[in-house]
Amino acid sequence: MRLIWNQGAGFSFRAEEFFGRDDELAALLRVCLEGKSGIGASVMIYGPPNVGKTSLLLKLKYDLQTLADGAAPPRPFPFYFSFSKILSHPLALSQHFLQEYLWQLLVFLGDSPPAAFDIDALSDRLGIYGLIDCREFILAHRRFTDRGDGLSALVNAFSFPFVPGGEIFYPVFLFDDFQYTCKLQNIPDGAVLSILRPYIKSGHFPMILSGSSPGHVTSSLKREGLFGSFQLMEVGGLSPAASEKMWTSLFERRKIQMPGHIQARAAARLGYIPVYQRMFAEEVSFRDAQVTDEIGFENLFALSITEGQLNRYWREFFESAFPERMLRARAIKFLKRVVCDQFPLDTFEGALSLLGTSPEEGGEILSALEFKGLLKSDFEQLRFVGDPVLADFLYWAFERGVLGKSSSQVGAALVQAKLSRATAESTEGSREKWVGVTKELMRRWDCREVPMLLFRFGSFRERFGGKGLLEVVIGMEREPQKMRLPKISSVSTGYRTRRGGPRFDFDLVAYGFLDAEFSEENLVIWAADVMTEKALTANAVEHFENRCRLLSLEKGLKPEQLRKWILFDGSVDPAALERVAQYDIFLSHRSQMRLFLNLFGVEELDLTPEEHKAPEFPPGAEPLEFELVLPMKADTEIVAARVAEEVAAYASLDKDTVDRIKMALIEACINAFEHSGAESGKVRLRYILSPEKIELFVQDEGKGFRGGHGGEESKRNRGWGLKLIRELVDDVEIATGERGTVVRMVKYLGHEPGKEGAGSPGPE
């Protein structure tokens, strides 16, 4: 009788091997426990395949079981059921579903269920616990089965668990791999949801659906008018901290040693995805490898991608998703362009033309990718997973399949790319940012006077070494020696005096004029270098001075027309300090820069690259900032919307944009009202308008965004608010901290909304 046994996942799950996802678990747990008072919210979990959705559900089940022991009845009965490809026949599915439910219920009640997996025996045993309703259901089910009426049998099986559990328990439904309900034989798409619809609508049963294909499921949800009743939860990689904990556990058991910084690197390379971490640990242990440094790690990683565990994992994945070879090759070639080369793509039409096949075949490929969760299609917009391991696998598959290279060749290329890119990234990233911020700063100089000490690191250190920031600021204000900055007309990186001539590589070269008048006599050039090395050496200063000398020679600059400026982080050799004084080079440490930036109201150094790269920012145009505090009263969100209208008037935005901003703000305010616990609380809004974007911050004083404070309103609105916000503005970020939740929304005012949309990595 027990041909298909679907608790496999349940048995292999070990709670002690589950790490991270605390926020998600807390939110889900809250939803489940609300079932006790008859409030049943529905959540849909989605994310790429094998990212850990099933583990999350099983961990939730485990937590519910362990937590419920002490609590007063009714206790939550977490019923985990996984739909699968095998159970595509409705009769098989309904039969199995019933068995599974009865079996898990008996286990839950503390029974040892009969070994023979026999429905009658199971229901007899349940009778002992006073649960006698099931008899009738089972009789009816048998009638339908005998008649071969699959749909009725399904209706019967799926309605059964909703018979109230009375005083003893209330059911919590954890339905896994839900996308397979769309692929039942001879049953219309979404029939299972139609059956479940009244129970979902009744709002009494906590129900968590999980699947890798949100598109399929959401479209059936929409058809059933259920979409609004669902909260969506996207599952991606773990947090770095949780990933690290997982390494510890994986390595301990296998007696693997790996230095901490390599572990961090490995976790990042694997996208913080648990299943990869597990495979990689197996790889290390299987090959008995010693991973002690970056090179060792990259080699092993490349080996795993080209012929080891990670390779096998994705190869099998593609073989099962695309049994037909031609389609598989097409899909891989296509995905390689999109996921690995980050070809920007977000429309269906674009995807079809990149696939270069007939619409039917292309549609088949895309729908298979969608079904497997590699691609998310939402409101006609496509989004692909940003999985680093998949990207490397695709690279391998492409190089080998299309270009015919050998695995070891590809592996070597991977290692090479990773090692060179990694070193460039780690130092380049912060340096680039710093250069960007300095550039922004220089654009704002505008003939202002600043204390000379900002450019004289030696004196600065003497005067303020070890003092607090406030003291320094006050001291600086009284500084008598000032320096008049030029008005900068352009700042660029590097400089070439003439076509084909030698290039003067400075991080920044700024053209300025000492007065507002742009004349040849007034011209000054500032050459600046940003050095992020640990220590500034005499050699580096020497090198800088040489380049400056060449530049001034080429351009015929008088000494006072060229200002030389080194910005640095870290320490400075005494010899370097000497040279700096000798050549009259300005030298500023990062701490001086901080003061400098402060003075000009430029953001701190951790500005994101996109923001400071916007070259169109006209000099002198400071962002406009407005603040508003709303009392938590019904309908005050209208005030927020009206202020938005007024703010937008400054930028003469078109009506559509203003309307979208207003809607998004209203939703964010309603969310803030609902979710911040304090009734007497306030919601703080900030509107920041700059030429390229409008930024909106909505901050409440509560403790989290998905909080479950009942109330009629929040039940009706469930799930819509955030969803709409995401549609209405270009970027949304939600941060919950000690002092409440802040929703940051950005609407770009240019004509390229969300240009980073296509290639942005999914997890994290």
Residue ranges binding other proteins (CB under 8 A) = 222, 225, 227-228, 379, 634-635, 637-638, 641, 655-656, 659-660, 662-663, 666-667, 670, 712-713, 716-717, 720-721, 723-724, 727
Q: Pick from 375, 352, 374, 376: which is nearest to 362 by CA?
A: 352
Asked if residue 461 lies in contact with residue 591, where contact means CB atoms within 8 angstroms, the answer is no
In a 10 Å sphere around its CB, with 0-12 CB exposed, 13-18 middle and 19+ buried, how is residue 663 labelled? Answer: middle
Least distance to other proteins from the beta carbon of 667, Å?
6
Contact 415, 299 (CB under 8 A): yes
β-strand partners of 368: none
Closest CB 711 distance from other proteins, rounded Å: 10
Minimum separation from the CB atom of position 648 to other proteins (A): 13
Closest separation in Å from C-beta 224 to other proteins: 10
Helix axes 469-477, 590-600, angle to 10 degrees: 60
Which pair of tokens denotes residue 22? 């605390």
Rg for the chain (alpha carbons), in Å?
Answer: 31
Structure tokens at 666: 């209203």
Half-sphere CA count of 683, side-chain side, radius 13 A = 32
The DSSP code for 337 is I
- Least separation, in Å, of the C-beta of 494 and other proteins? 45
Q: Please state the closest distance from residue 666 (CB atom) to other proteins, in A.
A: 5
Hey, which residues does 683 pair with through a beta bridge?
Answer: 630
Between residues 141 and 662, which has the closer beta carbon with respect to other proteins?
Answer: 662
Of 447 and 732, CB closest to other proteins: 732
Between 283 and 667, name the residue whose CB sits nearer to other proteins: 667
Closest distance between other proteins and the C-beta of residue 214, in Å? Answer: 14
Smallest distance from other proteins to CB 624, Å: 24
Shorter beta-carbon distance to other proteins: residue 212 or 657: 657
Helices (H) and strands (E) in the chain, counts: 29, 23
Identify the residue whose tokens are 């009865």.
102
Min CB(684)–other proteins separation in Å = 20
Distance (Å, whole) CA 372 – CA 516: 62
- C-beta of 697: minimal distance to other proteins in Å? 19
SS (H, E, C) 8-52: HHHHHCCHHHCCCCHHHHHHHHHHHHHHHHCCCCEEEEECCCCCC
Residue burial 33-48, b: 16+ Cβ < 10 Å; e: rest: bbbbeebbbbbbbbbb
CB 198 to other proteins: min, Å:
12
Q: What is the three-class DSSP state of 656?
A: helix
Find the angle CA(53)-CA(709)-CA(742) to the nearest 5 degrees. 75
| Type of residue found at 546 | N
Give the residue with the Cβ less far from other proteins, 568 or 673: 673
Indicate the residue among 511 and 748 with the shorter CB distance to other proteins.
748
Nearest distance from C-beta of residue 213 to other proteins, angstroms: 17
- Tokens 């206790």 identify what position? 75
Closest distance of CB 218 from other proteins, Å: 9
Sign of the dihedral through C-alpha 365, 370, 372, 376? positive
Strand partners, 504: 495
CB of 24 to other proteins, least distance (A): 23
Q: Are 721 and 732 in contact (CB under 8 A)?
A: no
Beta carbon nearer to other proteins, 139 or 649: 649
Nearer to other proteins among residue 637 and residue 700 (C-beta):
637
CA 618 to chain centre: 32
Of 117 and 720, the one with the shorter C-beta distance to other proteins is 720
Whichever of 61 and 660 has its CB closer to other proteins, that residue is 660
> Which residue, chain included where needed, has tokens 């298979």?
368
Cis ω for the linkage preceding 74 (within 30 of 0): yes
Instruction: Return d(Cα 305, Cα 313) in angstroms, integer.
Output: 9
Q: Which is nearer to other proteins, 557 or 638 (CB)?
A: 638
**CB of 606 or CB of 712, closer to other proteins:** 712
Among 391, 193, 156, which residue's Cα sits nearest to residue 273? Answer: 391
Minimum CB distance to other proteins smaller for 228 or for 619? 228
Which is closer to other proteins, CB of 713 or CB of 733? 713
Query: CB-based burial of residue 723 (10 Å sphere; 0-12 exposed, 13-18 middle, 19+ buried)?
Result: middle
